[in-house]
Amino acid sequence: MRLSLTLLLGLTAIPAAADASDPSALWTIVSGQCVPHEQTASDPSPCSEVDLSEGAAKGFAVLKDKRGVAQFLLIPTARISGIDDPAILAPGATNYWDAAWQSRYFVEDRLHTPLPRDNVALAINSADGRTQDQLHIHIDCMRPDVRQAIAANLDKIAAVWTPFPVPLAGHRYRSIRIDQETLDGVNPFRILADKDPHAMADMGKQTLVLAGATFAGGNPGFVLLNDQSDPATGDRASGEELQDHTCSGVAR
């Protein structure tokens, strides 16, 4: 799909992603423009990619967000509200995280440079912390300070949910380690729900951030971060806060 990205770099800047005043903006763009264009003319514009290989009920689109120098969004082509939608945990559900991780090359192409895996972050906000009522995974650079904090505490991240040792963007997250180079067969939504019944009972309050990592011995994997919204403290659980939409730490 690199060719399609090159051809569409100019197009993706127009009616890009979300307008906070219209919570259905993303869905309108994907269902009303990207999917029909792909179906009728093999042209995903204004998206950069539309994947219908599994049918429209399980496909996804990749769209350049109007915010940020290189931020892209992965959006289902099915009507799925967000992390609170039961469809994400249904049997046979599409692993949108795997698709988003594989789509990180759109960010790299926009920046004209490859990114180390620990400088790529995927994020989904909670129902309290989002502006759109269509599920979307943010694909972008990691904030330099968050990247440094993860690197400094990598040996403390376990295979079970544990509090992350230091605050990230002023909020307390917890973390879990994924010892796998890819997300093939590994769905972060399921990791959260299966390993924490309390989170599964109220998924709408949850935010997830996935960061690439390289563990001891050079073993590639991931760090999955989770926070929960808390109106009493003003924490809206917007994991997107851990991303850097300016990609300021990337040499280019």
Give pLDDT tens digits for 120-166: 999 999 999 999 999 999 999 999 999 999 999 999 999 999 999 99
Residue 180's contacts (CB-CB under 8 Å, 6 or more residues apart) are 186, 221, 222
- In the structure encoding, which two tokens stand for residue 56, read together? 């429209």
DSSP 66: S
pLDDT for position 19: 55
Residue 242's contacts (CB-CB under 8 Å, 6 or more residues apart) are 121, 123, 142, 143, 146, 168, 169, 209, 211, 225
User: In this structure, are residues 213 and 220 in contact, taking their beta carbons and an 8 Å threshold?
Assistant: yes
pLDDT tens-digit readout, 227-244: 999 999 999 999 999 999
Q: Which CATH class is domain 2-244?
A: alpha beta
What is the domain partition of the chain in residue ranges?
2-244
pLDDT tens-digit readout, 205-223: 999 999 999 999 999 999 9
pLDDT for position 53: 82
The alpha carbon torsion through 152, 153, 159, 161 (nearest 10 deg) reads -130
Q: What is the CA radius of gyration of the chain?
A: 17
Q: Given pLDDT bands bounded at 50, 70 and 90, which one contains residue 249?
A: confident
Q: For residue 7, is pLDDT > 70?
A: no
Q: Given pLDDT bands bounded at 50, 70 and 90, which one contains residue 55?
A: low
H/E stretch holding 51: strand 49-51
Say how far apart CA 112 and CA 140 lie, in whole Å: 14
- In the structure encoding, which two tokens stand for residue 224, read together? 């999955």
Q: For residue 4, is pLDDT > 80?
A: no
pLDDT for position 250: 86
**Closest to 176 (Cα-Cα) out of 146, 149, 208, 145:** 208
pLDDT for position 56: 63
User: In this structure, are residues 217 and 139 in contact, taking their beta carbons and an 8 Å threshold?
Assistant: no
pLDDT for position 130: 97
pTM of the entire predicted model? 0.92
Question: Mean pLDDT over all residues of the chain?
Answer: 91
Buried/exposed code over 51-87 (b: 16+ C-beta within 10 A; e: otherwise): bbeeeeebbbbbbbbeebbbbbbbbbbbebbbbbbee
